[in-house]
Amino acid sequence: MSPAMEGSTHASPALRLHRQLAEIWGTGPGLQRLAAVNHSVIGLRFMVTAFAFFAIGGVLGMLTRVQLATPQARFMDVETYNQVFTMHGSMMLFLFAIPMLEGIAVYLTPKMLGTRDFAFPRLTAYGYWCYLFGGAILTAALVAGVAPDGGWFMYTPLSSKVFTPGINADIWLLGVTFVEISALTLAVEIIVSVLTMRAPGMSLDRMPIFGWYMLVTALMMVVAFPPLILGSILLETERAFGLPFFDPTRGGDPLLWQHLFWLFGHPDVYIIFLPMAGLLSTMIPVFAGTPLVGYRAVVVAIIGLAFVSFGIWVHHMFTVGIPHLALAFFSAGSAIVAVPTAVQLFAWLATLAQGRPRWNVPMLYIFGFFSTFVIGGLTGVMLAMVPFDWQAHDTYFVVAHFHYVVGGALAFPMLAALYYWLPLLTGRKAVHGLSIPAFWLIFVGFNMTFFLMHLVGLLGMPRRIYTYSAIENWTWLNLLSSVGGFVMTIGFALVVIDLIAQLRFGRRVRRDPWDAATLEWAMPIPPTAYAFASLPSIEARADRIAAGALAPSLARGEGYLGFARNGWQETLGVNMTTGAPEQLIVLARQTYLPLWTALSTGAAVLSMLFHFYLGALAMALVTAGLFVLAGQSAGLARDYGPMPVGRGVSLAPHTESADPPAWWALIFALVADGTLFTSLVFGLLYLWISAPNWPPAGRPETHLLPALTSVAALVVAAIGARGALRSVAAGRPPERWIALAALGLIAAIAGIVVLIGNVVPRPNVHALGATAAAVLAFVALHAAIGLLFLLSNLLRRRSGLVSALRRVDFRLSRLWIDYTTITGALAIGLVLALPALVDILGMRA
């Protein structure tokens, strides 16, 4: 319902406000849509694109089922089958599951938290374009017949150059890394937005449970994705330049890849599950008609689940020869992770038991979730037991397990959420003529397809084989499984037809059709670009509000920021803990920059794919330049001081705040970066202690002078950054200090280049040299990025975007250079310690 449809008494102020805000926040028509940065637009694009990849991945899954339906089938040859099943898994995980949860987060989180948008709208758009282009690269490879074919987890040495000589594996490594950039940017954005941009008064204990789920999920993403990104970079450099990180004949170890991959891969299951659990925790109380039971216990369970999910990555590696004692750590962890999951399940069941549940289509899918996810969880506990895992490893039992977990955790809650939030998305009421048969087809088809895989797995059928003989008694189970797959697909096709029918013929619906208790229903539906005409003041738990009753007063502008000012996209920043309003956040407007930046990033990726490294370097520089350029249109050009934000409160803009969103964004970006650095150091130490062919033939040499010079230069840069910040704060010109910092960084880069040039053994000869060079290159890259920070400081100061009050740019530079100095000292210290480490290996058993 648009504000024009409010009661006649209040129609004029609401309509006037609507027009003013829509003018500021709206996305233009035609090609201007490419400049959209609004969270509703980008969130919807994420979801639609993810669903398109789900459809492609689903067709690929069906092709594998056709191939396996009968023994000795000739539907596909082995090469095609390898590409099809690899792309099925890769698409479902990287192009559907993660982006779908991101789309849901982008679309729903600001609305549920009672704010107008995410903290960095241009970054949201950049994330989307990176995802789309990365997905397009992978899809184009599939069409061209050069898709990845080494399985969705790309184990080495199969994916190394020797065994996969074409560009198939490169496409996976570069394409998926491109998509991961999108995931990381969004993770940082979600964390900062949840922590600092809630509705005024929404303290942490009043936050809707979905906010907790998204906060924890995004924190997990920040720590989980860097190991995979690092692994992909190392494997790509091995393939492109011969650096032997995973080559056991030259001091590398294929198991290092498995560690890095599963450090990402296992938490990823929970990264997919937790947002869906957040949706369930939002929907179930609505249909039960009572608040969620055990809110605080669920918060503890989410935190516990997030941590424990990281500590059990080795349970994917039970068969690689790790000693029993260490296996037991991870086996016990894999079993106990079921406890926090069960806490949530029991909270949902208790909520249903306490209320008077009403059945509707979303509840059908919630029922589907319960039954499939519990089966998947229990088979997970079975696989956590080492003796059972040794029997079932790499059989179809595992395939069945993870389809139950991912299907149960993702598909059923996703469809429940789709039907629940469809009126919000479209403003139309669901017509359930097709929805119910669609559910039963999906539910029956799902169980028929995947339950039988448990049995065929227990009969010994290995995963990833492209055909089998008739004598193994797998035929009927496989045939029924394939039939089930088609039944399920018909169900999904019905869902699509149902959606189209509802978009076309569905009746207009009143606001808050479910009598829900969360803030996303306290706005016009479908939502306007500005989401809330004014921001609510929260005085109780934000998942117990009367959304329908609150909406008209917000539309009339009776909350915070119920007016338009200066053409600014305004929202409020709050205290992380108490939710008290602290700053007026002025968001960036629509721009084509995210599109251009993602295009240049994509060009860099494609250049690397075709081994045109100069072109890749050039496009990387263009990308960096576009980021610096984006800085020229962010912030405010003068000091404003406190300004009224409504309800008698005045606040300074974020540019004059001590802790603006950008400050927190850099901190969490550094957490991600620090995880990547730690993973790299772990890689070096892991190879040192575990890899074959160590120590190398030649003893590493110590080059003390360039090493100490580099560390000293980094310290000088840190001093320069501090001096620049002090100068700006005192109103003095900071240029000399900036020059000092820049000189320090340039000297550090030069010193590190000398160190890399003198690494012994050479990086392409032994993994010791390769990892030492990688650690040093990490520092040089960060010093170079530090130069970009300083360049941006200079340009923004000259544009009048920096003053004594508006000095966050210089704080960001100081933080970045401090971080570079600390990691640089650690990295160079580690390289200097390598000769001693090699000597210690002489004492090995």
Partner 1 sequence: MLGLGFCIWASALVVAYVLHSVGCTFAWPTGALRLSLTLAILAHLALLAGLWGAYARARSGPELGQTGSFLRWVVVWTLIAAFVTTAFTLLPALFLTTCT
Contact residues for partner 1, defined by CB under 8 A: 203-206, 296-297, 299-300, 303-304, 306-308, 310-311, 323-326, 328-329, 332-333, 336, 340, 577-578, 689-690, 843-845
Nearer to partner 1, 167 or 305 (CB): 305
Nearer to partner 1, 35 or 204 (CB): 204
């959606």: which residue's tokens?
499
Residue 143 CB burial class (10 angstroms; 0-12, 13-18, ≥19): exposed
Residue 639 φ/ψ, nearest 5 degrees: -80, 135
Nearer to partner 1, 277 or 817 (CB): 277
Minimum distance from residue 580 beta carbon to partner 1 (Å)? 10
Minimum distance from residue 835 beta carbon to partner 1 (Å)? 18
Q: Is the dihedral of CA 670, 676, 680, 682 positive or negative?
A: positive
Nearer to partner 1, 338 or 509 (CB): 338
The secondary element (H helix, E strand) that includes residue 60 is helix 39-68
Minimum distance from residue 212 beta carbon to partner 1 (Å)? 10
Which pair of tokens denotes residue 773? 């060079």
Nearer to partner 1, 697 or 843 (CB): 843
CA proximity to 276, closest of 90, 425, 416: 416
Residues 6+ apart with CB under 8 A from 75: 63, 66, 67
Minimum distance from residue 663 beta carbon to partner 1 (Å)? 20
Residues 6+ apart with CB under 8 A from 117: 38, 39, 110, 531, 569, 571, 587
Nearer to partner 1, 676 or 790 (CB): 676
CA proximity to 370, closest of 402, 395, 390, 345: 345
Residues 6+ apart with CB under 8 A from 321: none
CA distance 550 to 534: 11
Dihedral Cα 266, 272, 275, 278, nearest 10 deg = -80
Which pair of tokens denotes residue 56? 């492609």
Minimum distance from residue 221 beta carbon to partner 1 (Å)? 15
Which pair of tokens denotes residue 675? 């995880």
| Helices of type H across 289-356 | 295-310, 324-336, 338-354
Nearer to partner 1, 203 or 290 (CB): 203
Minimum distance from residue 45 beta carbon to partner 1 (Å)? 33
Nearer to partner 1, 69 or 308 (CB): 308
CA proximity to 192, closest of 275, 271, 121: 121
Minimum distance from residue 227 beta carbon to partner 1 (Å)? 14
CA distance 492 to 608: 38
Minimum distance from residue 336 beta carbon to partner 1 (Å)? 5
Which pair of tokens denotes residue 127? 């994330």
3 state SS for 168-223: HHHHHHHHHHHHHHHHHHHHHHHHHHHHHCCCCCCCHHHCCHHHHHHHHHHHHHHH
Minimum distance from residue 277 beta carbon to partner 1 (Å)? 17
Minimum distance from residue 503 beta carbon to partner 1 (Å)? 42
Which pair of tokens denotes residue 455? 């049995």
Nearer to partner 1, 36 or 384 (CB): 384
Number of residues assigned to the chain: 845
CA distance 780 to 773: 10
Minimum distance from residue 520 beta carbon to partner 1 (Å)? 23
Nearer to partner 1, 324 or 356 (CB): 324
Nearer to partner 1, 207 or 630 (CB): 207
CA distance 400 to 439: 20
CA proximity to 180, closest of 265, 117, 275: 265
Which pair of tokens denotes residue 823? 């990691």
CA distance 108 to 117: 10
The secondary element (H helix, E strand) that includes residue 83 is helix 78-90
821 contacts 715 by C-beta, under 8 angstroms: yes
Minimum distance from residue 198 beta carbon to partner 1 (Å)? 12
Cis, peptide link before residue 437, omega less than 30° from 0: no
Minimum distance from residue 340 beta carbon to partner 1 (Å)? 8
| Inter-helix orientation angle 168-196/78-90, to 10° | 10
CA distance 479 to 281: 37
Nearer to partner 1, 336 or 729 (CB): 336
Residue type, 324: H
């040192």: which residue's tokens?
688
Minimum distance from residue 214 beta carbon to partner 1 (Å)? 15
Minimum distance from residue 647 beta carbon to partner 1 (Å)? 20
Nearer to partner 1, 431 or 540 (CB): 540
Nearer to partner 1, 303 or 483 (CB): 303
Pairing of β 643-646 and β 649-651: antiparallel
Nearer to partner 1, 680 or 728 (CB): 680
Nearer to partner 1, 260 or 531 (CB): 260
Minimum distance from residue 673 beta carbon to partner 1 (Å)? 19
CA distance 448 to 453: 9
Minimum distance from residue 273 beta carbon to partner 1 (Å)? 17
Nearer to partner 1, 318 or 446 (CB): 318
Nearer to partner 1, 209 or 745 (CB): 209
Minimum distance from residue 253 beta carbon to partner 1 (Å)? 13
The CA–CA distances, whole Å, from 451 to 134, 404, 435, 456 equal: 33, 8, 24, 9
Residue 340 φ/ψ, nearest 5 degrees: -60, -30
Q: How many helices (H) and strands (E) does the chain have?
A: 25, 4
């992770």: which residue's tokens?
337
